[in-house]
Amino acid sequence: MRRPDRPPRPARRFRLAPRRLVVLLPAWAWLALFVAAPALVLLGIALGEYDTGVPPFRPPLGPGGAWQGTLANFAAVATDPFYRDGFLRSLLVAFATAALCLLVGYPMALAMARAPEARRTPLLLAVLLPFWTGFLIRVGAWIGLLRDEGWLNGVLRALGVIGEPLPLLYSDLAMYVGMVHAYLPFAVLPLYAALARRDPAVEEAAADLGARPAVVFVTVTLPLSAPGAAAAFLLVFIPAAGEFVIPDLLGPPEAQLVGRMLWGEFFQNRDWPLAAALAVALLAVLILPVRLFQRLEAGR
Amino acid sequence: MSAARAGLWLGLGFLYLPIVLLVAYAFSADRIPFQWGGFSLRWFVALAGDERLIEAALLSLRVAAGAATLAVLVGGLAGFALARFGPFRGRALFGALIGAPLVLPEVVTGLSLLLLFVALEGAIGWPAGRGALTVLLAHATLGAAYAAVVIQARLAEADRSLEEAAMDLGATPFVAFRTVTLPLMAPSLLAAWLLAFTLSLDDVVLASFVSGPAGTTLPMVLFSRLKLGLTPEVNALGAVIVAVAAVALGLAALLLARVDARRGGG
Amino acid sequence: MSLLRAEGVAKRFGATAALDGLDLEIAPGEFFALLGGSGSGKTTLLRLIAGFETPDAGRLLLEGRDLVPLPPHARPVAMMFQSYALFPHLSVFDNVAYGLRRAGVPREERRRRVAEALALVRLEGLERRRPHQLSGGQRQRVALARSLVVRPRLLLLDEPLAALDAGLREATGFELRALQRATGAGFVMVTHDQAEAMALADRIGVLERGRLVQVGPPAAVYERPATRFVAAFLGGANLLAGLVRADGGVDCAEAGCLLRPAAPVGRPAGAPVTLALRPERVRLRSGEAPADAVNAARGTVAEVAFRGELSTALVRLDGGATLRVSRPSAEGAPARGARVTLTWPAEALAVLAD
């Protein structure tokens, strides 16, 4: 019988809780074990102390839960010029990579968005195909292109532009070429999505009101695509900041970046707590751009 | 504006130049990659005899298939919950956790998962050692994040009243899920599986962290060889991978076009 | 016994009340139209009856049986969605057969009933098509067949004609009426289109902010709107405000004349009152009426719009109000700026409650 005093139930009656649990419980369990727990372990070990045992650290909580942790690893990351410079350089490299990707990607996305409907999907696939050909294979191709005895030096020498081979590989130039090549699709996709959504009538209206094509572009097209451009920038910047493989294979050997330092501390120095502290610091630095990116995505 | 069009072709040229050269020079007889020494298939023959590479490739395929399957299961549950459960308790945290591997740098994900596996082994003895299983779990975690996004997006664009119509016509929620929701999700499940599979095949950073002596994947072998420079065998392998990727993407595009046509062009 | 009975049904979404204590009774075999603007709560009522939402308060009875505890799949009602919600992965046949399969109807009977339903909506021969291979009108009829084939006691239709081209709407409306008569099921239709509601329904109910403000046969509601909202929503009646006189007339300064409705005003002398007057009930002739005329006002033609069958004139009355006047175009249009007299019969004046 109906009981008028019963409070209204927020959930729809026919979606019984047990049915939802079948879906939510395994998902929560997985996320707790493989996403939340690793983050906590990482933070815990970053607070631990380097030790020569196996595993090579002393956890922050000793027997009986006694606190024996230390902030020394974070202090080292923050104050040691070696790590500090590595962080700054990583952010600079990520910034420059993202800016270059925007510069190269914007005209591509614009031309794709303006292409006839039937040609857009093939063009989109053309931009995506390199992305699927294997990341290491593409980096390997650049090694073959940029080596001292490589294809580019060969072409330049055959054309008589240079006498001696240029030292292209293992330089900042090679690293940026490899980074832009790897991350360009990340930039083109959100730019294209933003530009393809635009209403061409808006640009026509601007032209109709007396704006020349260049003025239309600057006053209408560019501002309308700004959120897409910001998303594209961040989508490149965030992974590029922690990139390890491309600088390692193409960049100058002496250049220290966060990804490389973390890798080195872990695999060469076996200093797990310091590597963990570097990872936590990298996360802290990236929280702002990540939040910004999520805000942009939510605002679409 | 032709400036943009010129930019498009220059950009595509930049993207394809190394790939085209890689494929072309795979057929060169010369010992030095990217040097033309006449047409030859010798490096493909050498590749077929490179047992270490073949073994790593087979392991990678097995790991990728397992990781993709697990990723679709977890990502499917998560994507379904996010698309169809409305506001549920802990939804914000749930969404943040499932999406975290998408935005975390690979080195951070790799290191934290390795530390977890070490801690787990110390605490409960599982997983015993590092190898194919730990790589599979790490790749499934990454793949699940992508799968959840793909599946949620697909469900979000499917008219919610389809399931209501099914229930209105007498289907219980479970039957409505089986006869309406699941068929609607099917293309996105396949797409998510392929995406997770490819991500696993392509990953070197996570694998390097969480793997052990018995779990050397193809990208790990490639990475260690590329540190010493490009060899003709690796060049030939690149050509094979490009060919496989091109065929797979072409098939996927055809499939998508058919599904699109079936849905009335979107 | 009534087919459907709603008693004090209320539903809130957060801070807004979608339905606010709604009472409604629908007779067996009746075609009922719920009319309201967006946000009036009309779709919410359909979703409550179908079982997709749970009321916060009140009862919903189908043939005396409480619907609220039943999940959607156990309710003997069927809904036709505004988007039609045809299953894109199933053929026309399988779409229509979906409900019969769920009910466990044997294969042979299922086939027969699907064929009957498709014949009823004249879609024979399209069984193997997918929804995307159909025109808008065909999709609408598949959705109808899919709902009707399960022989619901009550069919709920959410804006059934809204997605159709204007040219198809009238013909489809007639078909809906015929189907309703042929099946004998109760139809509850929700629409924002007053012409559609009046053309199809036996009775209409006008919803305003979660409340039914008037229920009745279309002609009665149209002729005698109960409130300003109903008067404005149905066909855009002219509203004239005035003060009640001791003799039952209404002094209307903005019309510049005395209004005398046929029905008693039912208010004390001196009270303010608003009356509705349909544009097509106003007669227009040239020349000046006497200054003390009853139900006759003088004015100047401000605008004239030709609308095919009818023409509409806006007449600025000497008292200040502007009246819309509709008349057959065949009678000839008045000239802009002409001095005219407007008259109307006493029974054309409806006294509004607010």
Digit-coded pLDDT (tens) for A28-42: 999 999 999 999 999
Q: Do B263 and C88 touch (CB under 8 A)?
A: yes
**pLDDT confidence of residue A12:** 46
**pLDDT confidence of residue A17:** 63
DSSP state of A8: P
pLDDT tens digit sequence for C159-177: 998 888 888 888 888 889 9
Q: Is the pLDDT of residue A152 over 60?
A: yes
Which residue from A2, A8, A12 is facing C56, i.e. has the nearest CB? A8
Residues of chain C positioned with their CB less than 8 A from the CB of A1: none
pLDDT tens digit sequence for C242-252: 999 988 889 98
Pick from A9, A12, A21, A30 the residue to mutate for testing the B interface (most B CBs within 10 Å). A30
Residues of chain C positioned with their CB less than 8 A from the CB of B173: 71, 73
Angle at which helices B51-84 and B132-157 cross, to 10°: 40
**pLDDT confidence of residue C158:** 93
Q: How far apart are CA C146 and CA C152, in angstroms?
A: 11
Residues in chain B: 266
Q: How far apart are CA B17 and CA C112, in angstroms?
A: 63
How many percent of chain A have pLDDT more than 70?
A: 94
Q: Is the pLDDT of residue C125 over 80?
A: yes
pLDDT tens digit sequence for B82-130: 998 888 889 999 999 999 998 889 999 999 999 999 999 988 988 888 8
Cα A246 to Cα A93, A136, A171, distances in angstroms: 12, 9, 11
In chain A, the residue whose alpha carbon lies closest to the alpha carbon of B95 is A31
**pLDDT confidence of residue B260:** 64
pLDDT confidence bin for B76, thresholds 50/70/90: very high
| Smallest Cα distance from A144 to chain B, Å | 6
Of the candidates A124, A127, A262, the residue with the CA atom closest to the CA atom of residue A181: A127
**pLDDT confidence of residue A5:** 44
pLDDT confidence bin for A2, thresholds 50/70/90: very low
Q: Do A14 and C71 touch (CB under 8 A)?
A: yes
> Chain A contact for C51, CB < 8 A?
yes
Residues of chain A positioned with their CB less than 8 A from the CB of B107: 242, 244, 258-259, 262-263, 279, 282
Of the candidates B208, B99, B199, the residue with the CA atom closest to the CA atom of residue B143: B199
Q: Which of A197-201, B10-14, B129-133 has the highest mean pLDDT?
A: B10-14
pLDDT tens digit sequence for C52-111: 999 999 999 999 999 999 999 999 999 999 999 999 999 999 999 999 999 999 999 999
| Average pLDDT for B199-214 | 92
Global confidence as pTM = 0.85
DSSP state of A269: S
- The three-point CA angle C137-C140-C141 to 5° equals 90
DSSP structure string for A18-64: HHHHHHHHHHHHHHIIIIIHHHHHHHHHHTSEE-SSSSSEE-SB-GG
Of the listed ranges A12-26, A91-105, B62-76, the least confidently predicted one is A12-26
| Average pLDDT for C319-325 | 91
**pLDDT confidence of residue A212:** 85
Q: Is the pLDDT of residue A216 over 70?
A: yes
Q: Do B35 and A42 touch (CB under 8 A)?
A: no
Q: Do C54 and A12 touch (CB under 8 A)?
A: yes
pLDDT confidence bin for A16, thresholds 50/70/90: very low
Pick from B159, B167, B169, B258 the residue to mutate for testing the C interface (most C CBs within 10 Å). B169
Residues of chain A positioned with their CB less than 8 A from the CB of C51: 14
Q: Is the pLDDT of residue B145 over 90?
A: yes
Of the candidates C231, C147, C162, C229, the residue with the CA atom closest to the CA atom of residue C196: C162
Mean pLDDT of chain C: 91
**pLDDT confidence of residue A121:** 85
Q: Do A2 and C56 touch (CB under 8 A)?
A: no
Of the candidates B11, B9, B44, the residue with the CA atom closest to the CA atom of residue B25: B44
Burial label, B4 (beta-carbon count in 10 A; 0-12, 13-18, 19+)? buried
Residues of chain C positioned with their CB less than 8 A from the CB of B164: 50, 52, 72, 79, 81, 85
Q: Do C54 and A2 touch (CB under 8 A)?
A: no
**pLDDT confidence of residue B128:** 86
| Average pLDDT for C284-310 | 85
Burial label, B90 (beta-carbon count in 10 A; 0-12, 13-18, 19+)? exposed
Which residue from B170, B184, B262 is facing C102, i.e. has the nearest CB? B170
DSSP structure string for C174-243: HHHHHHHHHH--EEEEEES-HHHHHHH-SEEEEEETTEEEEEE-HHHHHHS-SSHHHHHHTT--EEEEEE
Q: How far apart are CA A192 and CA A119, in angstroms?
A: 13
Q: Is the pLDDT of residue A6 over 60?
A: no
| Average pLDDT for C108-130 | 93
- Grouping H, G, I as helix, E, B as strand and the rest as coil, residue B79 is helix
Which residue from C85, C89, C132 is facing B165, i.e. has the nearest CB? C85
Cα A272 to Cα A69, A102, B101, B134, C192, distances in angstroms: 14, 36, 21, 19, 67
Q: Is the pLDDT of residue A43 over 90?
A: yes
Q: Is the pLDDT of residue B247 over 90?
A: no
**pLDDT confidence of residue B261:** 64
**pLDDT confidence of residue C232:** 87
In chain C, the residue whose alpha carbon lies closest to the alpha carbon of A11 is C54
Residues of chain A positioned with their CB less than 8 A from the CB of C12: 8
pLDDT confidence bin for A11, thresholds 50/70/90: very low
**pLDDT confidence of residue B265:** 40
Report CA torsion sign: A227, A229, A235, A239.
negative
| Smallest Cα distance from B246 to chain A, Å | 7
Tokens for C48, please give them: 């409550």
Mean pLDDT of chain B: 90
Residues of chain C positioned with their CB less than 8 A from the CB of B172: 71, 73
**pLDDT confidence of residue C293:** 80
Please give the ipTM for the structure prediction: 0.91
Q: Is the pLDDT of residue C276 over 70?
A: yes
**pLDDT confidence of residue A162:** 86
Tokens for B25, please give them: 């020079």
How many percent of chain C have pLDDT more than 70?
A: 100
**pLDDT confidence of residue A9:** 45
Residues of chain C positioned with their CB less than 8 A from the CB of B171: 73, 98, 102
Of the candidates C98, C52, C43, C109, the residue with the CA atom closest to the CA atom of residue C75: C52
pLDDT tens digit sequence for B14-46: 999 999 999 999 999 888 888 888 899 999 999
**pLDDT confidence of residue B262:** 60
pLDDT tens digit sequence for C175-216: 899 989 988 899 999 999 888 899 999 999 999 888 899 999
More confident residue, C288 or A233: A233
pLDDT confidence bin for C341, thresholds 50/70/90: very high
